[in-house]
Amino acid sequence: MTRRIVLATRNEHKVHELRQILASVCRDLDLEIASAAQFPDVPEVPETEVTFAGNARLKAEALAAATGLPALADDSGLAVEVLGGCPGVFSARWSGSHAGESATRAERDRANLELLLEQIADVPDAHRGAAFVCAAALGIPGQESVVCEGRVTGRLARSPRGSNGFGYDPVFVPDADPARTLAEFTDAEKNAISHRGNAFRAMEPVLRERLSRDV
């Protein structure tokens, strides 16, 4: 039986990656995956929590309540060691909220990345460690939500390289392959090691159990 679920994100890059990750994690589950963009009347939920897990839970529960469907949310960001874990939950708005501005996501991503590079310009290579962190949340109407986390560690390059991915990918050099930034990985290579891939792979047993229960 086909199960309909909805991705609680308006970031089309995340939607693209999540569709591929879920296709490999739940290949046999016969999922029909909708995204928040298909529910334009449902307002975006303010990210008022101060943890990735808290914000992921907020997004999943709000969309599940509004649509009646199981909802999967992703709250993620970059934690830079020398900045004490920032930008962290402020990763999407590090250079300002840009509320009401007409800047595109690509322009906001570039402004965030440029500000971060400027802030750590004097930091030597030995201290440029960072991690991408992702909290995946599953919200199902009438059930308690579940959150799983994933991360990938690496270092920050001094200038952007590569054109794949989004956000801070062009400056993130994963420990698993120190010759390339994540923006120089293919989608499949990134998903295999990424914070998002790791968080949603950790969610696999929960998805199987909850989606079979919710019929």
Q: Tell the smallest beta-carbon distance from residue 134 to ligand ITT (Å).
A: 7
- Residues of this chain, 106-135, that bind ligand ITT according to CB under 6 A: 109, 112, 132
Residue nearest to ligand ITT (CB): 167
DSSP β-bridge partners for residue 74: 136
Q: Residue 129 corresponds to which tokens in the numbers above?
A: 């460690």
**Could you tell me which stretch among 27-35, 73-81, 142-150, 153-161 binds ligand ITT (CB under 6 A)?**
73-81
Q: Which stretch binds ligand ITT (CB under 6 A): 116-124, 160-168, 173-181, 200-208?
A: 160-168
CB of 192 to ligand ITT, least distance (A): 13
75 as an active site residue: the answer is yes
Sign of CA dihedral 58, 137, 18, 187: positive
Cis preceding-peptide flag for 87 (omega within 30 of 0): yes
166 touches ligand ITT (CB under 6 A): yes
**Interface with ligand ITT, residue 47, by CB under 6 A:** yes
Q: SS in 3 state form for the chain? A: CCEEEEECCCCHHHHHHHHHHHHHHCCCCCEEEEEHHHCCCCCCCCCCCCCHHHHHHHHHHHHHHHHCCCEEEEEEEEEEHHHCCCEHHHHHHCCCCCCCCCCCHHHHHHHHHHHHHHHCCCCCHHHCEEEEEEEEEEECCCCCCEEEEEEEEEEECCCCCCCCCCCCHHHEEECCCCCCCHHHCCHHHHHHHCHHHHHHHHCHHHHHHHHHHCC
Report the nearest approach of ligand ITT to the CB of residue 125 (Å): 21
Question: Residues 77-96 vs ligand ITT: string with x where CB under 6 A?
Answer: xx------------xx----
Q: Which is nearer to ligand ITT, 31 or 92 (CB)?
A: 92
Q: How far is the CB of 183 from ligand ITT (least distance, A)?
A: 8
Instruction: Answer yes or no whether residue 10 interacts with ligand ITT by CB under 6 A.
Output: yes
Task: Name the active-site residue from 75, 122, 169, 187.
Answer: 75
- Give the catalytic positions in this structure: 75
Chain residues in the site for ligand ITT (CB under 6 A): 9-11, 14, 47, 74-78, 91-92, 109, 112, 132, 165-169, 194, 196
